[in-house]
Amino acid sequence: MAVLVTGGTGYIGSHTVVELLELDYKVVIVDDLSNSDDKVLDRIANISGKTPRFYRVDLKDKQALRKIFQENNVEAVIHFAGYKAVGESVSNPLKYYENNILSSINLIQVMNEFNVFNLVFSSSATVYGMNNPSPLKEEYPTNEANNPYGYTKIVIENLLNDISNTDSRWHIIIFRYFNPIGAHQSGLIGEDPKGIPNNLMPYITQVAVGKREKLSVFGDDYETTDGTGVRDYIHVVDLSKGHVRGIQKINQMPGLHTYNLGTGSGVSVLELVNAFEKANNLVINYQICSRRAGDVAINYADVSKVKRELNWETEKELIEMCRDSWNWQKQNPNGY
């Protein structure tokens, strides 16, 4: 089986490609490199001993996408590609609606042309919005989001649901994942955000490596154990293995199935900082700031469904996530 991975040179995509290659899947990567680096390809080859076929293509270019399907015997697709910076989506919503939704429509149309009906879609816990209580369950309503990025995920999920309801040939798995952190244990691939990090862990590691002066902690007056926001942090390798499990199971699962990918427990901002300091014998300089608009106090997954139906659960503990994050950053202080 050849698996097409869109966004395969990105943070989660590259780790998933490694896991697929180590299980002897043939992998084809399509990525426009707008938020990643082609050096990732050499790193993947270094880790796995295999070089996936790579196409530098924007999914909005339908003809170029067709050529990929013409040249490869694709049997399943994992769709990671998409813009994902929440702040940028607020300031430039049209860019996000055009790219994320049009790219997905093109991909689905071309898959249909080439009779490829196995799709794993990378969604996000942002689809749950602010009003659903944690632990978040897959059956909760997802008709509102805090930002345009989240709305693009809702639109694509709805599109996939409509397709599944009207064409029984499709096998679709939607993974709503929570807060991926960590890196491959080799330190060769990891999270390399462009500009100011949007996520907590790369901000912590950039402070630790001296790239940034201090970490800003937004709010210490939430109704949590220490007043800081609580999130579900999952090791990126565990997350990647979840997507591989989806590929392994998808042929047995007609219709559409939605799963959370998380640990099922919450960790506060300061608990994560403390764990990082303990794991790596470092001190992180931080300051408490006012809350950010749109942040919820507590956000973590109910993972009972994915355990039950896909027999998947996380393996890596928080300390390992912190060690691997720092191992990546200290080996690559300026990213790729």
Note the pLDDT of residue 315.
97
Note the pLDDT of residue 196.
79
Q: How far apart are CA 272 and CA 284, in angstroms?
A: 11
For residues 267, 194, 244, 126, the Cα torsion angle rounded to the nearest 10 degrees is 50
Beta carbons within 8 Å of 91's beta carbon, 6+ residues apart: none
Note the pLDDT of residue 295.
84
Note the pLDDT of residue 48.
97
Quick one: tokens of 60? 């909005």
Do 160 and 121 contact (CB within 8 A), yes or no?
yes
CA dihedral sign, ordered 31, 35, 39, 42 = negative
Q: How far apart are CA 86 and CA 278, in angstroms?
A: 30
Note the pLDDT of residue 231.
97
Note the pLDDT of residue 67.
98
- Give domain limits for the chain: 2-181+234-262+302-314
- What CATH code is assigned to 2-181+234-262+302-314? 3.40.50.720
Residue found by looking up tokens 């780790």 in the block: 15
Q: How far apart are CA 234 and CA 232, in angstroms?
A: 6
Angle, CA of 90, 102 and 141, to the nearest 5°: 60
For 87-98, letters b (16+ CB in 10 Å) and e give: ebbeeeeeebbe
| DSSP per-residue letters across 253-303 | --EEEEEEES-SS-EEHHHHHHHHHHHHT----EEEEPPPTT--SEE-B--
Q: How far apart are CA 305 and CA 135, in angstroms?
A: 12
Q: How far apart are CA 60 and CA 312, in angstroms?
A: 33
Q: How far apart are CA 256 and CA 122, in angstroms?
A: 13
Q: Active-site positions?
A: 149
- Which alpha helices (H) appear in 97-147, and where do they start and end? 102-113
In order along its 336 residues, the chain shows pLDDT tens digits of 799 999 999 999 999 999 999 999 999 999 999 999 999 999 999 999 999 999 999 999 999 999 999 999 999 999 999 999 888 898 999 999 999 999 999 999 999 999 999 999 999 999 999 899 999 999 999 988 889 999 999 999 999 999 999 999 999 999 999 999 999 999 999 999 887 788 899 999 999 999 999 999 999 999 999 999 999 999 999 999 999 999 999 999 999 999 999 999 999 999 999 999 999 999 999 999 999 877 889 999 999 999 999 999 999 999 999 999 999 999 999 999
Note the pLDDT of residue 298.
95
